């Protein structure tokens, strides 16, 4: 049995997405910028997809810019806004320590070119308080960037409240919604942000395609120069099959948000059973304000990578930290930014469920996990004794 519980790393593409992409690759060979019928057919595919993506987040299609994924969308938001803001003298940026590297490393680049960055801690709950932002925002603040849902612990940030604080101070607000879109309803109107990043492969679409929603009237400097694609906001011949795939995934995500009613209880059962059956376990992050598919649990005295490998040998795929940093034994930067002690940050596993997760899979995991954890603790103890 192969059990995939790593949907936050990526979600396998929907069969309908694969079919649509294959059809577009085979039947729509034109360049969307061409005037002839081939070009117009490609343009129509992109227009349809743009409408589907806009509908998923309650936006206007003209406000959606397709990118090469979530990382590029975050880069375009932060670098594009920074370029546009620099002449105004506002060079202070506020973000959180639990953001994805796509944001954190872009902020570091901005710091190297003279921006001042305030990186807020969320505390152990993994949820940023509005007061934490209020206390640091100044008339120099140009950008506030806070993710909607966290990729490791799943916590949901109070974006509407935070965005209102930014707006009152005259700063732009960017929300990385890569991990919330497709898992919970996301409406750009309710969020009140100025820019929102999303990524197709997190909700059943293809990898390497994403979008940045940019509120009408917000000025961003394009980061890729070239032709006038995407209304001159992102140059380069469009990835028509990928965009088509994202459109289909968006349509299914809009229709299947109700699946959260099935996934939430499955996640809750997985979590409850692990916490009850495996001694020395604890839940990381706020249990209430989080997406329904994610749980992050620490296992006292067990190196998370060892447990990940032991589970993998049983056919169960989970993750430690974010996918981008797996393979290293660095404790998760998210858990550290939540002020969890280093050993706990090193002992934590993320389980993220998705549309194909079944009751039987959860049964299997809660059955094997206590034995694996026990065995690893025994090995750990005998290793210490040998030393």
Please pick, from the candidates 106, 118, 141, 151, the single residue that binds ligand PLP as defined by CB under 6 A: 151
Shortest distance, CB of residue 249 to ligand PLP, whole angstroms?
13
Q: Considering beta carbons, is residue 71 or 95 the nearer one to ligand PLP?
A: 71
CA 360, CA 22: separation in Å to the nearest integer? 32
**CA pair distance 254, 108, nearest whole angstrom:** 35
Which residue stretches of the chain are H helix?
A: 15-27, 37-56, 70-85, 101-112, 130-136, 159-168, 188-191, 229-232, 240-255, 260-277, 304-313, 333-337, 342-346, 359-386
Grouping H, G, I as helix, E, B as strand and the rest as coil, residue 325 is helix
Count of Cβ atoms closer than 10 Å to residue 176 Cβ: 31
Does 69 contact ligand PLP by CB under 6 A? yes
H helix or E strand, kind and range, residue 316: strand 316-317
Smallest separation, CB 12 to ligand PLP (Å): 14
Give min distance, CB of 150 to ligand PLP, in A.
7
CB under 8 Å to 44, separation ≥6 — which residues?
none
Cα distances (angstroms) measured from residue 179 to each of 129, 153, 237, 314, 331: 20, 11, 27, 27, 21
Give the active site residue among 255, 313, 324, 356.
324
Tell me how far, at minimum, the Cβ of 363 lies from ligand PLP, in Å.
28
Angle, CA 114 vertex, CA 111 and CA 116 arms, to 5°: 60
Q: Is 324 a catalytic residue?
A: yes
Based on the shown chain and the rule CB under 6 A, indicate whether residue 70 belongs to the binding site for ligand PLP: yes
Distance separating alpha carbons of residues 54 and 56, to the nearest angstrom: 5
The answer to whether 297 and 283 have CB atoms below 8 angstroms apart is yes
Nearer to ligand PLP, 91 or 100 (CB): 100
Cβ-based nearer residue to ligand PLP, 127 or 369: 127
Least distance between ligand PLP and beta carbon 29 (Å) = 26
In the region spanning residues 76 to 115, those forming contacts with ligand PLP, defined by CB under 6 A, are: 100, 102
Residue 139 CB partners (closer than 8 Å, separation 6+): 90, 169, 170
- Number of residues near ligand PLP (by CB under 6 A): 16
Contact stretch for ligand PLP (CB under 6 A) within 27-35, 125-133, 175-183, 265-273: 175-183
Stretch that binds ligand PLP, among 83-91, 176-184, 292-300, 350-358 (CB under 6 A): 176-184
Phi first, then psi, for residue 221 (nearest 5°) are: -85, 125
Residue 246's nearest CA partner among 75, 58, 45 is 45
Among positions 310-369, residues that touch ligand PLP (CB under 6 A) are 322-323
Binding mask 207-246 for ligand PLP (x = CB under 6 A): ---x------------------------------------
Q: Which residues pair with 348 in a beta bridge?
A: 298
- The minimum distance between CB 35 and ligand PLP, in angstroms, equals 32
The residue with its CB nearest to ligand PLP is 70
Report the nearest approach of ligand PLP to the CB of residue 201 (Å): 6
Segment interacting with ligand PLP, rule: CB under 6 A, options 67-75, 76-84, 360-368, 379-387: 67-75
Stretch that binds ligand PLP, among 46-54, 83-91, 123-131, 172-180 (CB under 6 A): 172-180
Applying CB under 6 A, the residues found at the interface with ligand PLP are 69-71, 74, 100, 102, 147, 151, 176, 178-179, 199, 201, 210, 322-323
Which residues are marked as active site? 324
């Amino acid at each position: 049995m192969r059990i995939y519980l790593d949907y936050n790393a990526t979600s396998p593409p929907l069969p309908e997405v694969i079919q649509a992409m294959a059809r577009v690759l085979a039947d729509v060979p034109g360049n969307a910028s061409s005037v002839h019928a081939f070009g117009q057919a490609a343009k129509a595919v992109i227009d349809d997809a743009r409408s589907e993506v806009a509908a998923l987040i309650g936006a206007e299609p003209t406000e959606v810019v397709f990118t090469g994924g979530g990382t590029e969308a975050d880069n375009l938001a932060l670098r594009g806004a920074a370029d546009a803001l620099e002449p105004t003298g506002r060079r202070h940026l506020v973000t959180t320590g639990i953001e994805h590297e796509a944001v954190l490393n872009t902020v570091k680049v901005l710091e190297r070119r003279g921006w001042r960055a305030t990186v807020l801690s969320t505390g152990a709950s993994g949820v940023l308080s509005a007061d934490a932002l209020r206390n640091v925002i100044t008339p120099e603040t140009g950008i506030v960037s806070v993710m909607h849902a966290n990729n490791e612990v799943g916590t949901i940030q109070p974006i509407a409240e935070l965005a209102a604080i930014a707006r009152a101070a005259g700063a732009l607000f960017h929300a990385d919604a890569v991990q919330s879109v497709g898992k919970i309803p996301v409406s750009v109107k309710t969020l009140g942000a100025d820019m929102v990043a999303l990524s197709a492969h997190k909700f059943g679409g293809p990898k390497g395609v994403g979008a940045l929603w940019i509120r009408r009237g917000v000025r961003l400097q394009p980061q890729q120069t070239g032709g006038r694609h995407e209304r001159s906001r992102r140059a380069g011949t469009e990835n028509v099959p990928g965009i088509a795939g994202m459109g289909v995934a968006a349509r299914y995500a809009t229709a299947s948000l109700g699946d959260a009613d099935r996934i939430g209880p499955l996640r809750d059962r997985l979590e409850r059973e692990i916490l009850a059956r495996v001694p020395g376990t604890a839940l990381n992050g706020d249990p209430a304000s989080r997406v329904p598919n994610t749980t992050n649990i620490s296992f006292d005295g067990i190196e998370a990578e060892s447990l990940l490998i032991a589970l993998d040998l049983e056919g169960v795929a989970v993750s430690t930290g974010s996918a981008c940093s797996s393979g290293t034994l660095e404790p998760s930067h998210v858990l550290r930014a939540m002020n969890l002690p280093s050993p706990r940050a090193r002992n934590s596993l993320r389980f993220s469920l998705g549309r194909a997760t079944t009751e039987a899979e959860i049964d299997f995991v809660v059955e094997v996990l206590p034995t694996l954890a026990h065995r690893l603790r025994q090995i750990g103890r005998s290793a210490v004794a040998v030393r």
